[in-house]
Structure 1
């Protein structure tokens, strides 16, 4: 065997090995794509999106549906399946975008409260003084069957597990003390005015 012949054989083996790897890679990609396309539409949407926040999804559930979280539901530390918040509804990215946009337009502020909590009552009374339209949407968490799961989920998504928890356009702005401080500094009025809310005062 000549040196030149040995080099040619080695190159041929490398080339054949490279082609084999390419075939395996292409086949694997097609199999992966085929399995995704074969999935039901609602499962594909859950697995790849939409990029709606869990908090927005929860806000939609409590303001627009009568659904509740299962009593033994484990909120854990992982992002939840969007079917939890919108069972039987369009789970596509477009569907969620439409729901969140409509929710923020009609329910821009949601107050997670406890009916017996003096701090919750104080915050609700303060907000009532602004005579806002649309009015803040009040959720009495203690009167719901999913109160424990909701408290845990709010703690994970907003960093706040105490009540009241005041959420404005998908973001928690704090509780009673924070709300009072914003009111005293005039920031709460500015927030509502800049956002275009109708106010009675």
Structure 2
């Protein structure tokens, strides 16, 4: 890979890191999704069933989805979509969401602040 491709790659990832940080701070519930993902659809449905409205980012609709995913991986150490943030902190994916909704952890976190 030449210098210009590296610069473009790391520049894009860095830009998306700022976007991710901004979104996670601005929205109580943030869901990074893919429009063709059944797990993403299920996460949206679960949140809706609990009367929670996430701010949704469809990664595959972004200008550079690959760089966005890399920045998400770097920010969260998570590789599977969906990735959910609550109050600025990544809580994990669909399985984590199910567990934390079932035990009331997410609802409690949202009420505390």
Q: TM-score, normalised by structure 1?
A: 0.44
What does residue 118 of structure 1 align with?
38
Please report how far the alpha carbon of residue 117 of structure 1 lies from its aligned counterpart in structure 2 after TM superposition: 0.8
CA distance in 2, matches of 1:73, 1:112: 23
CA distance in 1, matches of 2:92, 2:42: 13
What does residue 74 of structure 1 align with?
9
What does residue 164 of structure 1 align with?
82
Describe the superposition over 1:77-119 as per-residue Cα deviations: whole angstroms up to 9, x where unpaired: xx94x7x858xxxxxxxxxxxxx5xx73x52221100111111
CA distance in 2, matches of 1:125, 1:73: 36
The answer to whether the Cα contact below 8 Å between 2:28 and 2:110 also exists between their aligned partners in 1 is: no
Structure (1 or 2) with the larger CA radius of gyration: 1
Closer/same/farther in 2, CA of residues 156 and 124 from structure 1, 3 Å limit: same
Task: Point out which structure has higher relative CO (alpha carbons under 8 A, 6+ apart).
Answer: 2
Equivalent pairs counted in the alignment come to 102
The answer to whether the Cα contact below 8 Å between 1:114 and 1:163 also exists between their aligned partners in 2 is: yes
- Runs of 4 or more, structure 1, over 6 Å off, are none
Structure in which a larger fraction of residues adopt strand: 2
CA distance in 1, matches of 2:10, 2:88: 19
Which stretches in structure 2 are left out of the alignment for 5+ residues?
Answer: 1-6
What does residue 153 of structure 1 align with?
71
Which stretches in structure 1 are left out of the alignment for 5+ residues?
Answer: 1-71, 87-99, 196-201
The answer to whether the Cα contact below 8 Å between 2:32 and 2:84 also exists between their aligned partners in 1 is: yes
Closer/same/farther in 2, CA of residues 156 and 163 from structure 1, 3 Å limit: same
Describe the superposition over 1:2-35 as per-residue Cα deviations: whole angstroms up to 9, x where unpaired: xxxxxxxxxxxxxxxxxxxxxxxxxxxxxxxxxx
C-alpha RMSD of matched pairs (Å) = 2.7
CA distance in 2, matches of 1:183, 1:170: 17
